[in-house]
Amino acid sequence: MKEKTFHITTFGCQMNEHDSEVMAGMLLEKGFTPVKERKDADVAIINTCSVRDNADKRFFGTLGQLKHRKKDDPNFLVCVCGCMMQQQHVIDTIKARYPWVDIIFGTHNIHQFPELIDNALNEKKKQVEIWPDGGEIVEGLPAKRLFESKALVNIMFGCNNFCTYCIVPYTRGRERSRKPSEILREVRELVADGVKEIMLLGQNVNSYKGADGVDFAALIYMLNEIEGLERIRFMTSHPKDLSDKLIQAFVDCDKLCKNIHLPVQSGSSRILKAMNRHYDKEQYLALVEKLKTAVPGITMSTDIIVGFPGETEEDFAETLDLVSKARYDSAFTFLYSIRKGTPAEKYEDQIPEEVKHERFNRLVELMNGISAEKNAAYVGTVQQVLVEGPSKTGSKTFAGRTDGFKLVNFRSETDMTGKLVDVKITKSNTFSLEGEIL
């Protein structure tokens, strides 16, 4: 009997990436084999993101491409899952316009995926299974990691913030935290399997509330004691939940990387209030200063939305001012796009696309200049790099990340994947560094 093959396409954030790792792990346990090209797979899975309009368009474009493959091979299975599937209008669209989709499931019942595969193969009929709420957290699911030496670890699911532009609370549900004991067990097993760095994941990771009163900072201290673990990272933080105790953890915990992603979204206090972000510009900048004072050299990244409804030129100037003062190492910048089902969808003062694009270009120019300046300061220094694998820059070159999450490319005659190596930085670029291994 021919072995079954699969291919997963992932849109969106690290949470989606980890969900795809779990699905891959479950399929491997069932005897399926991964393939690099979707056209060679017996089962194609598309894991969707609902945060940005561009991800929506890419998803439907990808789905359209599978029509002919399904026509040529009726046994070819098409599976769609992820955040978009938690929206009824998306499911209705798929049923009406993309009848070649075989399996539809959401964010809350990934553990059912193997069962849905079996049902689709045996019953030869469409499988649709969407849970409106998360229910109990299912532990012990397998995962096929993207990197041998790094691992993504979900510590909580869902979000309670209801920012007016964001669909996540509606697609991922309310906040649910895993037990500290389960997280510690998973990380110890990962370390035993060769993992040196973990990335703790949650929609709002620093609002984690584990059993027995263990908050996020306390969890960091516990993980810091695990022998063999080299680095701890986390994503994503909400400024309103960044406690003094967590800032102190950066000082006390040698394994906690001196790097933080702290989304600001806008530099205008008026727009931040309209976004329901629960802080203003001054409070955010005070938090940045507190971090930089407590943790000298900490690197910072952020998310910024350009063109939120009602954003004036004065509001945008406040964003440019905040970026100039915070001096981020990098930023994920986005054009605001209407998300069906969010409060901001109904705001009347939407910004014209040409205005959004013009502001976006100015922001990117400012941010790239700051990034280039900050990277230039690394030339001549020696940085410890965890090597992720071969670099895209050429043969016999490898790429990895510093403690501060700087991307470093360097040449090596031997494969350094998974190793922590010292690299002397010889050149800086806007988005990366180059160096020589010592």
- 79 known member of a binding site: no
Residue 149: phi, psi to the nearest 5? -100, -5
- 159 known member of a binding site: yes
CA–CA separation, 365 vs 203, rounded Å? 29
- 257 known member of a binding site: no
Give one DSSP letter per residue of 9-61, joined into a string: EE-SSHHHHHHHHHHHHHHHHTT-EE-SSGGG-SEEEEEE--SSHHHHHHHHH
Eight-class DSSP state of 139: P
CA–CA separation, 401 vs 145, rounded Å? 17
Q: What is the pLDDT of residue 50?
A: 81
Query: What residue ranges in 50-94 does DSSP mark as E strands?
Result: 77-82
Residue among 409, 23, 346 nearest 164 (CA): 346
- CB 130 within 8 Å of CB 105: yes
Structural domains in the chain, sorted by start: 4-129 (3.40.50.12160), 145-257 (3.30.750.210), 291-377 (3.30.750.200), 381-437 (2.40.50.140)
CA–CA separation, 283 vs 325, rounded Å? 13
Residue among 152, 158, 77 nearest 114 (CA): 77
Residue among 354, 262, 275 nearest 310 (CA): 275
Residue among 196, 200, 197 nearest 215 (CA): 200
Structure tokens at 351: 């910004």
Structure tokens at 17: 């990436």
Output the pTM of the full model. Answer: 0.90
- 81 known member of a binding site: no
Q: List per-residue pLDDT tens for the chain, 438 residues long.
A: 568 999 999 998 888 899 999 999 999 999 999 999 998 999 999 999 887 767 778 888 888 889 888 888 888 999 999 999 999 989 999 999 999 999 999 998 999 999 999 999 888 889 999 888 777 788 988 889 988 899 999 999 999 999 999 988 888 888 999 999 999 999 999 999 999 999 999 989 999 999 889 999 999 999 999 999 999 999 989 999 999 999 999 999 999 999 999 999 999 999 999 999 999 999 999 999 999 999 999 999 999 999 999 999 999 999 999 999 999 999 999 999 998 889 999 998 999 999 999 999 999 999 999 999 999 999 999 999 999 999 988 888 999 999 999 999 999 999 999 999 999 999 999 999 999 999
Residue type, 246: L
